[in-house]
């Protein structure tokens, strides 16, 4: 990821899965990874509330990966989408379901992509490797160290800025 | 990508860039690759308007990759239209732009871009980048479409547990 302060937030309620995902990610992701165990906790983290108040310890995430089988996972996606600051954070969904309805619902709620959670660890490690390789190449909104997204004064180079005004 | 009828739609006004992108993606995507040269043309393609009416020739895309700076409907215009239309809002949309301006990056994500790639100046770098893209998106599930180019409607309520009592959810997870 081409952010200056990249940081990954993993949202996963299953302790074992959380352990394996973090372990697999850490093999290829050299930047901070943090994890929370519910959508509600993810919102606390994003808000920098409670134990997440220290942004040096809990940096604002530049990418989120969430499990889709948690009770409040769809609510988390809805909350991310509703919030102007959070809607621009790429959100990767990891799910145990290949039901087309679930896939569509998750994309409709603004997820960047939808991955099936592999059941074996080697496959999970390989998948996380591909994920990191790709997302390392992606531009993402910048944040500063206090955890705010950087506001830029530029109009954009892509020529659309003028028309947008 | 794990679609039964995959179709990759490339939106770029530069003939040279289109050539290089197709060249980089062709081996993997083969005849499922289609190109248009503006945001408005992409919208006509999605609608199956006029020249794009034949869905056998111009299948409904399962993924879109768009440039930003284009005459006749730029990438933001396309993203806005995709987002507005519930059937199109679920199509993963990759931005590939020469701009690294932070406003453009943020604006593209705010309009629902799945991810934002900086278009490299060098041919070899573009090939590498498209390689990473193929490797990752190959693993992604995307909404299924039928051969007529409509998103498939299913009667299932999904398996993620929201319609099931919690104990049942737990049982399937354990």
Q: How confident is the model at residue A143 (pLDDT cuts 50, 70, 90)?
A: confident
Domain count, chain B: 1
How many CA atoms lie less than 13 Å away from B117 in the CB half-sphere?
Answer: 25
User: Is B45 part of any domain?
Assistant: yes
Q: Sign of the C-alpha dihedral, residues A79, B144, B82, B1?
A: positive
User: Is B12 part of any domain?
Assistant: yes
Q: Inspect the interface and report whether the beta carbons of A102 and B136 lie closer than 8 Å.
A: no
Question: To the nearest 5 percent, what fractions of chain B are helix, strand and coil?
Answer: 45, 15, 40
Query: Residue B65 sits in a domain of what CATH number?
Result: 3.40.50.2300
Per DSSP, helices labelled H in chain B are 15-29, 39-47, 75-84, 86-89, 102-110, 123-137, 166-173
What does the pLDDT read at residue B40?
Answer: 97
Contacts for B71 with CB less than 8 Å, ≥ 6 apart = B13, B38
Range(s) of the domain holding residue B50: 8-173
Q: Which of A143, A145, A137 is nearest to A2 (CA)?
A: A137
Identify the burial level of B98 via C-beta atoms within 10 angstroms of its C-beta, where 0-12 means exposed, 13-18 middle and 19 or more buried: middle
Minimal Cα distance from B85: which residue of A? A108
Q: How many CB pairs under 8 A join A and B?
A: 170
User: Domains of chain A, with CATH numbers?
Assistant: 8-164 (3.40.50.2300)
For range A24-39, the mean pLDDT: 92
Q: How confident is the model at residue A42 (pLDDT cuts 50, 70, 90)?
A: very high
Across chain B, which has 174 residues, the per-10-residue mean pLDDT values are 83 96 90 94 95 92 96 97 94 97 94 96 94 94 73 57 37 38
Q: Inspect the interface and report whether the beta carbons of A159 and B136 lie closer than 8 Å.
A: no
What does the pLDDT read at residue B156?
Answer: 57
pLDDT, one tens digit per residue, over A74-132 is 999 999 999 999 999 999 999 999 899 999 999 999 999 999 999 899 999 999 999 99
User: For all residues of chain A together, what is the average pLDDT?
Assistant: 86
User: Is B2 part of any domain?
Assistant: no
What does the pLDDT read at residue B169?
Answer: 38
Instruction: Specify the DSSP class assigned to residue A68.
Output: S
Residues of A (92-111) whose Cβ lies below 8 Å from B: 95-105, 107-108, 110
Query: Strands B140-141, A113-116: parallel, antiparallel or unpaired by DSSP?
Result: antiparallel
User: Is B21 part of any domain?
Assistant: yes
Contacts for A133 with CB less than 8 Å, ≥ 6 apart = A28, B132, B135, B136
What does the pLDDT read at residue A159?
Answer: 41
A124–chain B nearest CA distance, Å = 11
Are the C-beta atoms of B82 and B95 separated by less than 8 Å? Answer: no
User: Could you report the predicted ipTM of this complex, rounded to two decimals?
Assistant: 0.87
Are the C-beta atoms of B149 and B57 separated by less than 8 Å? Answer: no
Residues of B (88-117) whose Cβ lies below 8 Å from A: 89-92, 97-107, 109-110, 112, 114-117
What does the pLDDT read at residue A112?
Answer: 97
């Amino acid at each position: 990821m081409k952010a200056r302060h990249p940081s990954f937030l993993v949202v996963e309620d299953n302790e074992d899965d959380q352990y394996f995902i973090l372990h697999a990610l850490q093999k290829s992701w050299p930047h901070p990874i943090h994890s929370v165990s519910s959508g509600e906790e993810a919102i606390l983290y994003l808000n920098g509330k409670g134990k997440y108040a220290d942004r040096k310890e809990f940096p604002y995430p530049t990418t989120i990966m969430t499990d889709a089988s948690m009770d409040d996972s769809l609510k988390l996606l809805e909350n991310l989408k509703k919030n102007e600051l959070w809607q621009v954070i790429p959100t990767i969904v990891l799910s145990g379901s290949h039901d087309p309805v679930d896939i569509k619902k998750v994309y409709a709620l603004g997820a960047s992509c939808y991955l099936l959670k592999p059941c074996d660890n080697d496959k999970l490690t390989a998948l996380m490797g591909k994920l990191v390789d790709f997302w390392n190449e992606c531009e993402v909104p910048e944040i500063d160290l206090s955890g705010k997204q950087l506001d830029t004064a530029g109009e954009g180079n892509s020529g659309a800025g003028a028309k947008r005004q | 990508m794990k679609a039964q009828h995959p179709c990759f739609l490339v939106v770029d006004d530069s003939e040279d860039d289109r050539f290089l992108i197709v060249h980089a993606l062709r081996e993997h995507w083969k005849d499922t690759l289609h190109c248009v040269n503006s945001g408005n043309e992409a919208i006509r393609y999605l609608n199956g308007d006029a020249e794009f009416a034949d869905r056998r020739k111009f299948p409904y895309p399962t993924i879109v990759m768009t440039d930003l700076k284009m005459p006749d409907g730029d990438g933001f215009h396309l993203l806005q239209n995709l987002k507005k239309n519930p059937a199109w809002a679920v199509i993963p949309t990759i931005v590939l732009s020469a701009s690294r301006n932070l406003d453009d990056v943020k604006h593209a994500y705010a309009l629902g871009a799945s991810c934002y790639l900086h278009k490299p100046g060098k041919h070899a770098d573009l090939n590498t980048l498209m390689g990473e893209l193929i490797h990752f998106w190959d693993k992604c599930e995307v909404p299924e479409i039928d051969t007529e180019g409509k998103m498939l409607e299913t009667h299932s309520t999904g398996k993620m547990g929201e319609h099931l009592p919690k104990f049942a959810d737990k049982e399937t997870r354990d």
